[in-house]
């Protein structure tokens, strides 16, 4: 099962990543320590490793690994401002996302997540759409809830955020099921 190659929402265009997107991704969000604070990877300090990462995401699409990442662009543009990904695992879809700080607080990520949740739950084999965030990241929890997910609880010592600690941290789990 594979999600669409691209999708549009009223304000966004989502597409597959390309290695030549690395400079724009670096500038928009991947090098920003505030944006990457709660993520599973540290901010990038160079563009070349980011280009390699984007190449791997292209490889995931080509080989249908179950891990599908999109770059998010404002409608009518091709310049990345963030990304959202879905991992298809058995009967559930797990989402992750990041958005450049210049675009926070406008509901853009909620819009993208809402689209992908609807796509996932329309698939006959998927019964659960879920995502998690660090307990100290209430803005991300609000995105999930505004996108239609229900807060299910706290996963204790679940996720390592290397920008905060080498130890696993507690996370808020949200999901929408059918």
pLDDT tens for 64-113 read: 999 999 999 999 999 999 999 999 999 999 999 999 999 999 999 999 99
- pLDDT above 70 covers a percentage of the chain that reads 100
What domain range is 22 assigned to?
7-129
Q: Is 68 helix (H, G, I), strand (E, B) or coil?
A: strand
Q: Is residue 138 part of a domain?
A: no
Whether the pLDDT of residue 153 is over 90: the answer is yes
- Residue 97's CATH number: 3.40.630.30
Whether the pLDDT of residue 156 is over 90: the answer is yes
Q: Is residue 171 part of a domain?
A: no
Rounded to whole angstroms, the maximal C-alpha distance in the chain is 42
Radius of gyration of the chain (CA): 15
Q: Is residue 46 part of a domain?
A: yes
- Total domains in the fold of the chain: 1
Distance between CA atoms of residues 165 and 85, nearest Å: 24
Average pLDDT score, the chain: 97
| 69 phi/psi in degrees, rounded to 5 | -110, 140
Q: How far is CA 119 from CA 1, 4, 24, 122, 164, in A?
A: 11, 9, 27, 5, 33
From the number of C-beta atoms within 10 Å of its C-beta (0-12, 13-18, 19+), residue 7 rates as middle
Q: Is residue 142 part of a domain?
A: no
Whether the pLDDT of residue 126 is over 90: the answer is yes
Give residue 20's pLDDT.
97
> Pairing relation of β-strands 92-99 and 128-134?
parallel
| Confidence band, pLDDT 50/70/90 cuts, at residue 33 | very high
Q: Is residue 153 part of a domain?
A: no
Q: Is residue 39 part of a domain?
A: yes
Q: Is residue 157 part of a domain?
A: no
Residue-level length of the chain: 178
Q: Is residue 141 part of a domain?
A: no
Give residue 1's pLDDT.
84
pLDDT digits (tens, 9 = 90+) for 129-140: 999 999 999 999
Q: How far is CA 96 from CA 56, 58, 77, 116, 147, in A?
A: 17, 17, 22, 11, 13
């Amino acid at each position: 099962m594979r999600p669409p190659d691209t999708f549009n929402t009223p304000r966004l265009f989502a597409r597959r990543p390309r290695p030549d997107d690395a400079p724009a991704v670096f500038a928009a969000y991947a090098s920003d320590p505030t944006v990457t604070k709660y993520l599973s990877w540290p901010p990038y300090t160079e563009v070349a490793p980011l280009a390699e990462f984007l190449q791997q995401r292209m490889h995931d699409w080509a080989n249908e690994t179950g891990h599908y990442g999109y770059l998010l662009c404002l409608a009518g543009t091709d310049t990345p401002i963030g990304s959202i990904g879905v991992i298809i695992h058995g009967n559930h879809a797990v989402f992750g996302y990041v958005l450049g700080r210049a675009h926070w607080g406008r509901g853009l990520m909620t819009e993208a997540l809402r689209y992908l949740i609807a796509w996932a739950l329309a698939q006959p084999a998927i019964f659960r759409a879920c995502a998690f965030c660090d307990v100290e990241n209430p803005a991300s929890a609000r995105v999930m809830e505004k996108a239609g997910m229900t807060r299910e609880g706290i996963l204790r010592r679940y996720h390592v955020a290397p920008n905060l600690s080498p130890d696993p941290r507690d996370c808020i789990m949200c999901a929408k099921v059918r």
